[in-house]
Amino acid sequence: MLFDVGKKPETISRRRRKLYDLVKRFEVAAKGGDPYSFEIPVPEIVLTSNDYKEAEERLQKMNEEVALERKRMKLEKKRMQSESQNVANDDGENVTAKIRPKKSAVKRKVLKRNLGRKHAGVAKRTANRKAKLLT
């Protein structure tokens, strides 16, 4: 009966899974077994301490290779940037930095004040609510 309920298309998957699990447990109980017993599966491969040591060594070697590759890539990137700057300077082109507009003093004050607060947005909302209540 539970199996038939689980088969219906309107049964959601989570409930279906639970129903099928109950069906299995009832079948085991009907055969005279303990429905809540759990047998630990026997591992196919037994690992030794030597296997763990080898895996650890391979992992350390791989981490060293990754670190070395990162250093190489950073050096290559720096070299490419310096070459591109040298080429730009040789051609007589001036490389200018982006000019950003300065922030106003009022804006800087507000930013400084809000940096110390953990939840600055919450304080603003509560202040706005209080102002609405007073008016």
Q: Which residues have a Cβ under 8 Å from the Cβ of 35 and sit 6 or more positions away?
A: 24, 25, 26, 28, 29
**Residues lower than pLDDT 70 in the chain:** 90-99, 101-126, 130, 133-135
The predicted structure's pLDDT at residue 98 = 65
Helix (H, G, I), strand (E, B), or coil: what is residue 28?
helix
106/70 Cα distance (integer angstroms):
43
The predicted structure's pLDDT at residue 56 = 97
The predicted structure's pLDDT at residue 118 = 56
